[in-house]
A and B are shown apart, each in its own frame.
Chain A
Amino acid sequence: MSVTKLNMVKALNLALLQEMERDPAVLILGEDVGVDGGVFRVTDDLQRKFGSQRVIDSPLAEAAIIGTAVGMALYGLKPVCEIQFSGFAFQCFHQIENHAARYRLRSQGRFHCQMVIRMPYGGGVRALEHHTESEEQFYAHVPGLKMVIPSGPRTARALLTSAIRDPDPVVFFESKALYHAAKEEVPADPEALPIGRAQVVREGRDLTLIAYGAMLRVAREAADVLQAEDRVETEVVDLLTIAPLDRETIVTSVAKTGRAVVVHEAPRSFGPGAEVAASIMEGAFLHLEAPVRRVTANDVSFVGFAREKAHVPDVARVAAAARETLAF
């Protein structure tokens, strides 16, 4: 199987291209996705290939983008919507929560919404607050939605492919910090990864680090530091899907290591880390040697970029929390 080295933007573009070639019902809509190919170029060249009926430039109207897509999905199309930044999605949250997420239940299965809502999220790019936040907990809360966050080019491509094929609405977050951060080998043939499945990306027996999205790289680097400086063998779990959460993989790992630290760049209170910690409590209480630690952004609005490094978890903070957990 041939492979190419792609960054995350190109990998996402490849998933869109191949799914649009495979299935004529798949289409794209959003602000600047067509002529401009998206603010981050994820939809680059797709309008030229598929025409303006399948790659639709919308007005600046997030609620209209999602509302239109819900209507399209009810009639059998498979829209992939782009919201330019996740901070703008509060404008369309009622369409997502009240309609996209509920049609299957409300219509007792007569209608469903096969649609993907893609949004760039997260910090690390020195942008202002609406453009840097992590709002995954809003969507993970909503019954009827799936919430996916890939951690690199290959998982991004494979999970976007699965999201487009999923019969129900999927909210798909893409870390801006990862868009151009690194290239990975990506198979040329279509590849899909199951939604709802976490991956153990590094095996270890002393401690479990749980992360996703841009924080996975931070967790892996912290694991390297702990290996080199403390001779600690860290297991690293990449969640990939926030909801439904793969509790089995998390609990199995913590049952083995007895210690866990969860890392995310969303604010701490009521965040995904709380859900992970509570799930460990329920599933592996008697295996725990230490309390589960959360390393997260502070409980404030996303800070101005001069203070960004003090706000988003870094390797030093993750390693420090890991050492406290190991010393407990």
Chain B
Amino acid sequence: MAVMTYREALNLALREEMRRDPRVFVMGEEVGLYEGAYKVTQGLLKEFGPRRVVDTPIAESGFTGIGIGAAMLGLRPVVEMMTFNFALLALDQIVNSAAKMYYMSGGQFNVPIVIRGPGGPAAQLAAQHSQSMETYFYHVPGLKVVRPTTPMDAKGLLKSAIRDPNPVIFIEAETLYPVKGEVPEDPDFVIPLGRAVVRREGTDVTVIAYMGMMYRAIEVADELAKEGISVELVDPRTLRPMDVETIIGSVRKTHRVVVVEAGAGFAGMGSEISAFVTEHAFDDLDAPVERVTGANAPMPYARNLEKLKTPTKDKIAAAIRRVCNANGS
């Protein structure tokens, strides 16, 4: 184990996979000479040269389309979106080509592409740079969607995403890039896609969250422990396909669920979890599944409004107390 930042963990994952597999290459705006808007691709141009670290024009649809074509012909592109909001400009390529090509070609072409970059709440980056963009990808059949919370997850999941034979949407976070944590240095260390992790065991309530909201939920769980509420924290890590088994296993133990997400919430992670928990574990539930979501508004620029847009610790704690008091058993 080494201690490194989330940013360094991503960089290491890219470096190791590029060394392991000559088909892997990186492409995007400012990824080469400038070493990435957030320095995730630092040093890669120097080590691997301009044929494998490709600076593109500001044209998301164009370079995503090139990446999809390269993947169909056997390469392993890792395309960077400078921020994930900009991926909307490539949405047609992602949904209509990357996600469907394997199906439409009757299995003749798979598209092993990773589209990565930062997304979600940040620090006053406003509505076109800090929306929770996973909502536009996790209902697309044919895509996998990953949101890594820790540096270890960032490395292990990015490596799995690069090795996956199908398209993976991999959304990081500006606010997590400087976060430090332990990361295995073993180049064979990977974390499989589609597996959740129980970050903390508890007995009274299952709280499901990822990334910034998971860090917030950890603080809330610490505070509620003083009141005698034992919170189990589950991090889905991969949003599509969701690890139904781990979540249901936790619900069968705690009988109460709170889902926390930064996005606007309509037909979001909380909705899907609420729906499948009801389907699979209806008789185990002692309280309705609670959703704590971002406000149904674009991300504001003003700092005071930005704080109100995402779920606060008070709102998370209130939801946990509500389900713990709603004793249906």
B314 shortest CB reach to chain A, Å: 19
Report if A97 contacts B (CB, 8 A): yes
Do B264 and A141 touch (CB < 8 A)? yes
Report if A60 contacts B (CB, 8 A): no
Report if A106 contacts B (CB, 8 A): yes
Report if A198 contacts B (CB, 8 A): no
Q: Name B297's contact: one of A143, A245, A285, A293 (CB within 8 Å).
A: A143
Residues from chain A with Cβ under 8 Å of B138 in the complex? 269-270
Q: How large is the interface on A (under 10, 10 to 19, 20 to 34, 35 or more residues)?
A: 35 or more
Once bound together, how far apart are the Cα atoms of A137 and B269, in whole Å?
A: 13
Residues from chain B with Cβ under 8 Å of A298 in the complex? 141
Once bound together, how far apart are the Cα atoms of A57 and B296, in whole Å?
A: 35
Contact with A along B253-288 (1 / 0, CB 8 A): 000000000011011111110110011001001011
Q: Which residues 233-268 in A have Cβ within 8 Å of B in the complex?
A: 243, 245, 266-267
Contacts A90-B92, A301-B104 given: A293-B279 contact, CB under 8 Å?
A: yes
Once bound together, how far apart are the Cα atoms of A67 and B307, in whole Å?
A: 31
Once bound together, how far apart are the Cα atoms of A24 and B17, in whole Å?
A: 60
Do A137 and B91 touch (CB < 8 A)? no
Report if B71 contacts A (CB, 8 A): no
Do B274 and A278 touch (CB < 8 A)? yes
Once bound together, how far apart are the Cα atoms of A64 and B300, in whole Å?
A: 27
Q: Name A292's contact: one of B100, B242, B275 (CB within 8 Å).
A: B275
Do A270 and B139 touch (CB < 8 A)? yes
Report if B155 contacts A (CB, 8 A): no
Number of A-B contacts defined by CB within 8 Å: 134
Do B139 and A281 touch (CB < 8 A)? no
User: Of residues B135, B242, B267, B287, which shows the largest number of chain A Cβ atoms within 10 Å of its Cβ?
Assistant: B267
Q: How large is the interface on B (under 10, 10 to 19, 20 to 34, 35 or more residues)?
A: 35 or more
Report if B290 contacts A (CB, 8 A): yes
Residues from chain A with Cβ under 8 Å of B95 in the complex? 90
Closest to A291 in B: B282
Contacts A141-B267, A285-B288 given: A290-B282 contact, CB under 8 Å?
A: yes
Q: Name B267's contact: one of A105, A129, A140 (CB within 8 Å).
A: A140
Residues from chain A with Cβ under 8 Å of B267 in the complex? 137, 140-141, 270-272, 274-275
Q: Name A94's contact: one of B89, B270, B272, B287 (CB within 8 Å).
A: B89
Once bound together, how far apart are the Cα atoms of A241 and B225, in whole Å?
A: 42
Do B139 and A269 touch (CB < 8 A)? yes
A84 shortest CB reach to chain B, Å: 14
Do A94 and B141 touch (CB < 8 A)? no
Report if B103 contacts A (CB, 8 A): yes
Report if A180 contacts B (CB, 8 A): no
- What is the interface of chain A, defined by CB distance below 8 A to chain B? 87-88, 90-91, 93-94, 97-98, 101-102, 105-106, 129-130, 137-138, 140-144, 243, 245, 266-267, 269-275, 277-278, 281-282, 285-286, 288, 290-294, 298-301, 328
- What is the interface of chain B, defined by CB distance below 8 A to chain A? 85, 88-89, 91-92, 94-96, 99-100, 103-104, 127-128, 135-136, 138-139, 141-142, 240, 242, 263-264, 266-272, 274-275, 278-279, 282, 285, 287-291, 295-298, 300, 328
List 5 A-B residue pairs with CB atoms under 8 Å apart, sorted by A's residue number: A102-B298, A274-B274, A275-B267, A277-B278, A301-B100
